[in-house]
Amino acid sequence: MAPSSVTIVGASLAGLRAAEALRRRGFDGPVRLIGAEAHPPYDRPPLSKQVLAGEWEPERAQLTDAGRLGDLDIDWWPGRRAESLSLAERELTLDDGTRLAVDGVVIATGAVPRHLPVEPTPPGVHVLRTLDDAVALRDELDAGPRRVVVVGAGFIGAEVAATCRGRGLEVTLVEALDVPLGRVLGRDMGRVCAEIHLDHGVDLRCGVTVTGFEGRERVEGVRLGDGSVVDADVVVVGIGVTPATAWLESSGLTLDDGVVCDETCLAAPGVVAAGDVARWPNPRFGETMRVEHWDNAVQQGAHAAARLLASDAEAEPYAPVPWFWSDQYDRKIQLAGRVRPDDEVRVVVGSTAERRFVALYGRAGRLVGVLAMNRPRHLMAYRTLLEQGASFDDALAAEV
């Protein structure tokens, strides 16, 4: 049976899209949207780019406001963090001690940033996950630091480095892997990404770890595993995230690098999960995955809401082709599919030398991914082949 009420834990992009989907599908029962932050739901991609660059005021990143939530008859609870969930008692406890009876539940609490395992951490060391993080970091950049050190050359770290260079700041980018994004894109494509930063004057240090910080009252430098010290007035740590599931440890749900769901996004009777926090078997790729990208939050939030209203017989698997983009300098990097560093990689359009190309990833005779740099039209065409389950040979021979 469909729930009589729905509580969405996490006023994130996935949580908002779930709320909108419930109303769009005709659900007229009470809907609560509980968010740990005081802000209405907002978009995260601009935080490392337009907001951090000072091109947007923070409010422009908001996806909605209290008025729109009121129009949807959504009961928004800002600044209230979920403390625990009991499936047996169908009860949610908040950080102020409030206990709420729940029926249907959407878990959309996202993820939290990882921190370096070094102590002490002086002022001036930042992570970038929330709107408040972005504003605090932007204020530091407005002061004109002599050098910014970014730890981690993944997509967030790379975007922060690019934004800082765009502001005219000196940047050192530190990466523990031999090449940026090597575990995602493989060595060859990771090397291309490294060259983009070198082209723009970034001091790129690969294959080295951070062992500590210099400075007590404020960060003055970053100590590296090779014995060197990089001067720093501001440090940004971008070494990935972990799903926000600590509050669910006694819930009765299965947790394993996220909330474990079935292929329809159902985690338990009357409980679904969506966005960065959800882990589910994607039948299209034959593997269990957790996807931390904007498009997945949009799609999975809506799908999870539909699953909550559907019977077991009506429920459909969630089988997307994941894709995302990253804007760095004047390059738009887009990746669709599910790639591994040991996949076969072939450049089929353009060239890596001109930083404008398309590369296909193949595994076991099947097209599994496409990477595009400043080739959005081609990316979408090859993404269609991914959705169709094309073979690698057919994709290589295709004219798009």
We find that the CATH architecture of domain 6-112+241-309 is 3-Layer(bba) Sandwich (3.50)
Query: What does the pLDDT look like over 180-225, one tens digit per residue?
Result: 999 999 999 999 999 999 999 999 999 999 999 999 999 999 999 9
Q: What is the pLDDT of residue 375?
A: 97
Whether 6-112+241-309 shares its CATH topology with 115-237 is answered yes
Q: What is the pLDDT of residue 400?
A: 86
Q: What's the whole-number mean pLDDT along residues 321-328?
A: 96
Residue written as token pair 């599910």: 338
| Residue 361, burial from CB neighbour count under 10 angstroms (0-12, 13-18, 19+) | buried
C-beta of residue 39 within 8 angstroms of C-beta of residue 78: yes
Q: What is the pLDDT of residue 96?
A: 96
We find that the CATH architecture of domain 115-237 is 3-Layer(bba) Sandwich (3.50)
What CATH code is assigned to 330-397? 3.30.390.30
- Whole-Å CA distances, 59 to 46, 143, 159: 11, 21, 20
Q: How far apart are the first and last CA of the chain?
A: 46
Backbone φ and ψ of 298, nearest 5°: -60, -50
- The residue extents of the domains of the chain are 6-112+241-309, 115-237, 330-397
The answer, yes or no, to whether residue 349 has pLDDT greater than 90, is yes
Closest CA to 65 of 28, 16, 110, 8: 16
Query: What does the pLDDT look like over 123-157, one tens digit per residue?
Result: 999 999 999 999 999 999 999 999 999 999 999 99
Query: What does the pLDDT look like over 351-399, one tens digit per residue?
Result: 999 999 999 999 999 999 999 999 999 999 999 999 999 999 999 999 8
Rounded distance, CA 69 to CA 79, Å? Answer: 16
Residue written as token pair 């089988």: 319
